[in-house]
Structure 1
Amino acid sequence: MKLSDCDVILHLGAHRTGTTSIQHALNQNSQELFQEGMICLTAPAMGEHSEGTVRQVTKALPKLGRRFGHVLHWSLAAQQKSLLAQLMIDRSQGRAFNSVIVSEENFLGHAFPLGSKTDLFYPNLAKMLRGLKRTLGSRISRIHLCIRSYDTFLPSYYAMRAMFGERNDFKSIKARWMKVEGGWPSVIERIAEHFPNAQLRVTTFESATPEETFWQIIGSERLRGRLSWNVEVHNQSPTCEAIQAAIQLKKTPNFDPDEVVHQYHVHRHGKRFDPLSPDEKRLLSERYARDLEALRRGGLLASQPLERVA
């Protein structure tokens, strides 16, 4: 079965909004979902290699998203479509299905690439979306995105980056990150621009739990009695001690950030990572409130469930 024959449901994250827990739930319920004609393609679990997951597609998106090089685009897109087709065959075991759920927060790119020449929030998003469009085509019917207040997103995102190799101290990059040029409205508008025919459902981390987002992605009330949400919290926010330990550790294939976070848990002997002053938190929180109001006025956010219907 070809990707072009399927209904594609895309879960884009964002980062630090319970995405890993949602992916675990999708994998846990894969057999029940398959009985309903749905298969799930998710990012690799912690500690797993990237082979055989949609993470390979993620790595190819920046090249696919370049505006020039049509021969390269055609060849690379063909490779990624072949990879996705093989993943679909492996998950379906050769049996028929009619829809695919693809969950990968890194399809958005990095929120604050340090090497970028711009301060735009998710600066490589347009390139990533162009590459995604070349790979998935026009079969995307729904796109799910969860956003989070800047005053909690920035520290949590930095902590995640620190666990995976970020070497810059938060103080050295805070001034730049505090600008949040464009913000969530820019992210949502760019997604809507690249996929105008898809139903874009936007929830907020403050108003929807990961479990609620999971059920929105599934999109079927009658499955509630058959599916389960028995997922532990994954990728918990690291403490100051966990971040320092991760920065100092030499990365190995067996490096497990979850284990480091667990070792330096706040309830044991860790201090909560809280690098913003009350005034900085207030400014970022007020910015978030203004952005949400702008999104509502623009029709990109509504009362719960928050959605934009094409």
Structure 2
Amino acid sequence: MQTCLHLGAHRCATTSFQEYLRQNAAELETQGIGFWGPRRTRNGLFHGVLPTPSVGNSQSLAKRAQGRIRMNLNQSRERGVQQLIISDENLIGSTRANLRLGALYSGVGERMARYAEAFDGQISSVALNIRSLETYWTSVLTYAITRGHRIPTAMKLQNLAEGSRSWRDVISDIACAMPGVEIKVLPFEIFGGRPEMQLEMLSDCEAPRSHARVRLNASLRLEDLRAHLLTNAAQGLPAGEGRWRPFDETQCAMLRENYADDLMWLAAGADGLAQLVQDPEHPAAGLNLPQTDVTRGRPHDKQDRRLAGSG
């Protein structure tokens, strides 16, 4: 049985992807595709994998978690599941910790090493969704504010924009913690609203189209965000409607540049650590670009003379 650990990340349409899998679970099982989502993974299945304050011995709890996971994997295998997708964005950390530290998933390496040990070598691949840092942090901040966090100060925004940790560091940490496991990276900009396409990239099935456009936990717009907050807190938001844009142009440029560097690194092979999943409907150009205009005549010559003589 092939086991894919889908890690999210947060604010990358992960909840919508999980809902799509949940709604189509019965149909997918006929194709040998199984699904474990947060309703299962956060219901005690992984208790003990990560150290937590407890009266029990941490090593004993980790062994019990390993046995519990092995038992559940065997049950899925006995039901005829050939490919199992386990999706839970909290495996790599939390947005609360990201905001507190001002960095992307700083402890992901240690966390994934513990999960790799708990699965005892039965993880075949890992899937990670990434997103432009500008929109990722904006979405994280919007989500946090709706849950009682304060509106970020100018210094906080500047620190986020100047942060040196990017998706490349997250991927490198995961690869170091899980050597030999295939890592697939799916950009939110391509797969965020296409769960069926994402599923096909992670499995060998013909993904159902039902429930493929369900959208959950979308960021609130400014007018909705103001209505959600108390009057005093809402005064810190800018006037107008539409998406909240907390970063200024310079900060946005810094965050976009970091994300562009990440994508270039992935496209160049990511040092052999990960695979960037491309849009199957828009394949990248090869070494020899297609020639759409193979004729040349008098109109071209006249244009060339005009260009050459221009001052």
- TM-score with structure 1 length normalisation? 0.72
Structure 1 residues 97 and 115: CA distance shift in structure 2, 3 A: closer
Indicate the SS of the match to 2:190. coil
Structure 1 residues 302 and 144: CA distance shift in structure 2, 3 A: closer
Match of 1:54 in 2: 42
Measure how far apart 1:88 and its partner are. Answer: 7.8
Indicate the SS of the match to 2:84. strand
- Pick the aligned partner of 1:9 from 4, 9, 19: 4
Match of 2:62 in 1: 76
Match of 1:171 in 2: 153
Conserved 8 A contact 2:49-2:114: yes
Conserved 8 A contact 1:10-1:144: yes
Distance of 2:148 and 2:163 partners within structure 1 = 19
- Pick the aligned partner of 1:216 from 185, 195, 201: 201
- Pick the aligned partner of 1:288 from 239, 255, 259: 259
Q: How does 1:218-297 map to 2 (within 5 A)?
A: 219-221=203-205, 223-224=206-207, 228-246=210-228, 248=230, 271-297=242-268
Amino acid at match of 1:25: Y
- Pick the aligned partner of 1:138 from 121, 128, 136: 121
Distance of 2:42 and 2:15 partners within structure 1 = 14
Conserved 8 A contact 2:132-2:255: yes
- TM-score with structure 2 length normalisation? 0.72
Conserved 8 A contact 1:141-1:199: yes
Conserved 8 A contact 1:42-1:53: yes
Between the two proteins, what is the percent identity of the paired residues? 23
Indicate the SS of the match to 1:174. helix
Distance of 1:115 and 1:304 partners within structure 2 = 30
Measure how far apart 1:62 and its partner are. Answer: 3.6
Match of 1:113 in 2: 97
Q: Does 1:158 align with 2:146?
A: no
Structure 1 residues 240 and 170: CA distance shift in structure 2, 3 A: farther
Conserved 8 A contact 1:8-1:100: yes
Conserved 8 A contact 1:110-1:124: no
Structure 1 residues 199 and 103: CA distance shift in structure 2, 3 A: same
Larger Rg: 2
Aligned length: 264
CA RMSD of aligned residues (A): 3.4
Distance of 2:91 and 2:57 partners within structure 1 = 23
Amino acid at match of 2:178: F
Measure how far apart 1:83 and its partner are. Answer: 6.4
Measure how far apart 1:143 and its partner are. Answer: 1.0
Conserved 8 A contact 1:37-1:97: yes
- Pick the aligned partner of 1:24 from 11, 19, 31: 19
Q: Name structure 1 gaps, 5 residues minimum.
A: 1-5, 45-51, 250-268
Amino acid at match of 2:94: H
Structure 1 residues 282 and 240: CA distance shift in structure 2, 3 A: same
Distance of 2:249 and 2:99 partners within structure 1 = 29
Measure how far apart 1:296 and its partner are. Answer: 3.2
Conserved 8 A contact 2:108-2:170: yes
Match of 1:40 in 2: 35
- Pick the aligned partner of 2:51 from 57, 63, 69: 63
Distance of 1:231 and 1:114 partners within structure 2 = 29
Distance of 1:149 and 1:101 partners within structure 2 = 25
Q: Name structure 2 gaps, 5 residues minimum.
A: 232-239, 281-311
